[in-house]
Amino acid sequence: MSGTDTVVQHVRVVVVGSGFGGLGAAVRLRQEGVTDFLVLERAGSVGGTWRDNSYPGCACDVPSHLYSFSFAPNPDWPRTFSGQPEIRAYLERIADRFQLRPHLRFDHEVQGARWDAAASRWELSTSQGVYTADVMVAACGPLSDPSVPDLPGLADFPGKVFHSARWDHDYDLTGKRVAVVGTGASAIQIVPMIQPKVERLVLLQRTPPWIMPRMDRDITSAERRLYRRVPAAQRALRAALWSIRESQVGAFVKRPGMLKAAQALAKRNIDKHIKDPALRARLTPDYSFGCKRVLLSNTYYPALAQPNVDLVASGLKEVRGSTVVAADGTEHEVDAIIFGTGFHVTDMPIGSRITGAAGRTLGEEWKDGMAALRGSTVSGFPNLLFVIGPNTGLGNSSMVLMIESQLNYLADYLRRLDASGAAALDATPEAQRRWNAEVQRRMARTVWNNGGCRSWYLDGNGNNTVLWPGTTAHFRRETRSVDLAEYDLVQTPATAPVTV
C-alpha cells in the first residue's frame, strides 16, 4: 500500500474466497454473532470450484448427502452424485438463506496482504482498493488456480486451448479433433461426454488412474419426500455414508495391504470394459490402489474402447504447429487441446501474496514445503487462519467435513482472542513443528507415500503436505478448540507518548 492509498473499509474479519470454505466461514461468523466482516471474491459470483468447473459431466465424487453442509441439508439432491449445476445452485442458496449477500464483495481480487505490526492488522490490496482487517481467513481453495504445463510450441498452437476449469462453452467440439491432456478426476468425467461428438479424441495419459464403478442413480421423488418430511432419515443416511468412509481410512493410512481386494475389483472393472489386451495393459496402473486419488466412473472405459479414441500412454512433450507430440514420439494433428492437468496445489498462488510479521511471504516461508499448525495457522502470520490449509485434504471423503472442523477452530480462535485481550495470536514455531512432525510421522506409513506413484499430493521434495493422514473424526477432535499454550499473544505496540 502506498502512503496515498485510502482504506475502503476496516472490518473485524475478512474472508478471502466464496466457495464452500468462504461461505461456510461467513455462516459461522454470523452464528457467532460477528457481523463486522466481508468476503472478498475475485470472481463475479459465489461457488468457487462449483462456479469455475462447468465442463461437461462435472459432478462430485463423494455422495451429495455427505458433500454438503451439515447445517444445511438439502433434501432435494437429484442424484446420489449431483452435478455441478445443482451444487453451484446449492451454494447460491446458502448465500441467500444465511443472509450473506450484504457481506459479499465480488470482483475483488486480493493481490497482496501484509501484516501491519504497528496497527496489528492485515492490510489487503485488492483490485478494488485497500481493506484492513483484524483477522484474515484465507479460503482461497486448494484447487482453484489451474495448472497448465509450460510446453514448447504451445503459445503458437493455431487451434483452441483451454483448461478444464475454464471451459469455453462458445467453442463447439462437434466434429473436431481434440487432444485431452491428463487422466485425473476432471478428464475422466470429460472424456465420455465429448467422445460421441468429436471426430477424433487423443487422450494423453502420463499415468493411468485406478477407477471403481460409480454407484450413481437418480434419487426418487419418494426418497426426497421422505427427507423433507423426516429430516432424521436424511441425517441417518449422512451418518451411514460418513461411517463407511471413516472405516476405510485405516487401510489408506496404516494398512495399505488391505487395499488389495479393492485393487482386484478395480482391475476387474478394466477387464470388463476393455477387451483389447494392449489397451488394457496401457490402462492398468503399475502402482498400488489408493496411491493416487481413486476415481469413479462407469462410462470412461467404454468411451476409451470406441474407434474414434487414441490413448497415448505418454505425457504431452511439445506442440509443433497443430500437432501434439507426446514424450514417446507419437504425433497427432488436432484442432483443440483441453488441459485436464489439475491445479497449483503445493505451490498455492496466494502464498506469494501474503506477507507476515517478519516481512517474508508465505511462499518464502513454505519454500521447503507447506506447513501450518492444525492445518489452520502459520507461525509469524498472526491472526491468519486457513480453511483447507496444509495437510487437511482427504483421499476418500467429503472436504466439507474438514471445512466444518476448521470453522470450529476459527470460532474458538475468535472467542479466545477476544477473551485474551491481545491484538493477535501467533502460533509458536515449536507448536507448529510438533504438529507437523506428528503429521509426517503418521504419513510415513500411508499408501500415498508408499504406493509407488507420484501424485499431486506430493510436493517437489516428495513430502505429502496436502492430505490428512487420519479420520475426519480425528481432525474434528484436533480442531475442536484452540490451545493458547500453542500461541504467543501479540499486543499492539504502545503508541509513543505525545510531548507537547
Ligand X SMILES: Cc1cc2nc3c(=O)[nH]c(=O)nc-3n(C[C@H](O)[C@H](O)[C@H](O)COP(=O)(O)OP(=O)(O)OC[C@H]3O[C@@H](n4cnc5c(N)ncnc54)[C@H](O)[C@@H]3O)c2cc1C
Q: Compute the least distance from the CB of residue 22 to ligand X, in Å.
A: 5
Q: Of the candidates 108, 136, 132, which has an alpha carbon nearest to the alpha carbon of residue 41?
A: 108
Q: How far is the CB of 78 from ligand X (least distance, A)?
A: 15
> Are 200 and 308 contacting, i.e. CB atoms less than 8 angstroms apart?
yes
The only residue of 95, 173, 266, 388 in contact with ligand X, by rule CB under 6 A: 388
Rounded Cα distance, 193 and 191, in Å: 5
- Residue 404 binding ligand X, by CB under 6 A: no
Quick check: 137 binds ligand X (CB under 6 A)?
no
CB of 330 to ligand X, least distance (A): 28
Asked whether position 465 contacts ligand X by CB under 6 A, the answer is: no
Binding mask 49-68 for ligand X (x = CB under 6 A): x---x----x-xxx----x-
From the CB of 67, what's the least distance to ligand X, in Å? 5
| CA distances (Å), origin 463, targets 232, 345, 450, 458 | 42, 13, 11, 5
Our finding on whether 13 is near ligand X (CB under 6 A) is: no
Which is nearer to ligand X, 295 or 324 (by Cβ)? 295
Kindly state the cell numbers that stand for 417.
482472542
Q: Is 140 an interacting residue with respect to ligand X (CB under 6 A)?
A: yes
Q: Is 372 in the site for ligand X (CB under 6 A)?
A: no
- Closest approach of Cβ 342 to ligand X, in Å? 8
Contact pattern for ligand X over residues 24 through 43, marking x by CB under 6 A: ----------------xxxx
Query: 68, 3 in Cβ contact below 8 A?
Result: no
Q: Using an 8 Å Cβ cutoff, are 227 and 64 in contact?
A: no
Report in angstroms how near the CB of residue 356 gets to ligand X at its nearest.
Answer: 17
Which CB contacts under 8 angstroms, 24+ apart, belong to 117-123?
117/357, 117/493, 118/492, 118/493, 119/492, 120/382, 120/383, 120/423, 120/424, 120/490, 120/491, 120/492, 121/10, 121/383, 122/14, 122/383, 122/384, 123/1, 123/7
Q: How many residues does the chain have?
A: 500
Q: Are 160 and 168 in contact (CB under 8 A)?
A: yes
Nearest approach in angstroms of CB 137 to ligand X is 11
Q: How many residues bind ligand X (CB under 6 A)?
A: 32
CA–CA distance, 206 with 209 (Å, rounded to integer): 10
For the purposes of burial, counting CB atoms within 10 Å of the CB of 395, is it exposed (0-12), middle (13-18) or buried (19 or more)?
buried
Shortest spacing between CB 472 and ligand X, in angstroms: 10
AA letter at 274: I
Q: How far is the CB of 25 from ligand X (least distance, A)?
A: 9
Residue with cell 514445503: 369
Compute CA 199 distance to the chain's CA centroid, rounded to the nearest angstrom.
Answer: 33
Which segment (141-149, 192-200, 363-371, 474-482) binds ligand X by CB under 6 A? 141-149
Q: Which is nearer to ligand X, 108 or 273 (CB)?
A: 108
Site string for ligand X, 182-221 (x = CB under 6 A): ----x-----------------------------------
Cell numbers representing residue 197 in the block: 461428438
Q: Is 48 in the site for ligand X (CB under 6 A)?
A: yes
Q: Is 390 in the site for ligand X (CB under 6 A)?
A: no
Stretch that binds ligand X, among 2-10, 20-28, 207-215, 228-236 (CB under 6 A): 20-28
Q: Binder to ligand X among 303, 399, 458, 467 (CB under 6 A)?
A: 399
Burial 92-123 (b: 16+ CB within 10 A, else e): bebbeebebeebbbeebebeebbbebeebbbb
How far is 464 from 459, CA to CA, in rounded Å?
6
Q: How far is the CB of 48 from ligand X (least distance, A)?
A: 2
Note whether 21 binds ligand X by CB under 6 A. Answer: yes
Residue 22 touching ligand X (CB under 6 A): yes
Distance in Å, CB of 55 to ligand X, minimum:
8
Let me know if 382 is exposed, middle or buried by CB neighbors in 10 A (0-12, 13-18, 19+).
buried
Between 49 and 132, CB nearer to ligand X: 49
Q: How far is the CB of 136 from ligand X (least distance, A)?
A: 11
Stretch that binds ligand X, among 48-56, 310-318, 472-480, 482-490 (CB under 6 A): 48-56
Q: Is 350 in the site for ligand X (CB under 6 A)?
A: yes
**3-state class (DSSP) for residue 223:** helix
Of 76, 86, 109, 347, the residue at the interface with ligand X (CB under 6 A) is 109
Q: 14, 15, 38, 110: which one contacts ligand X (CB under 6 A)?
A: 110
Question: By the 8 A CB rule, do 341 and 203 touch?
Answer: no
Does 19 engage in binding with ligand X (CB under 6 A)? yes
Binding site for ligand X (CB under 6 A): 16-22, 40-43, 48-49, 53, 58, 60-62, 67, 109-110, 139-141, 143-144, 186, 350, 387-388, 398-399
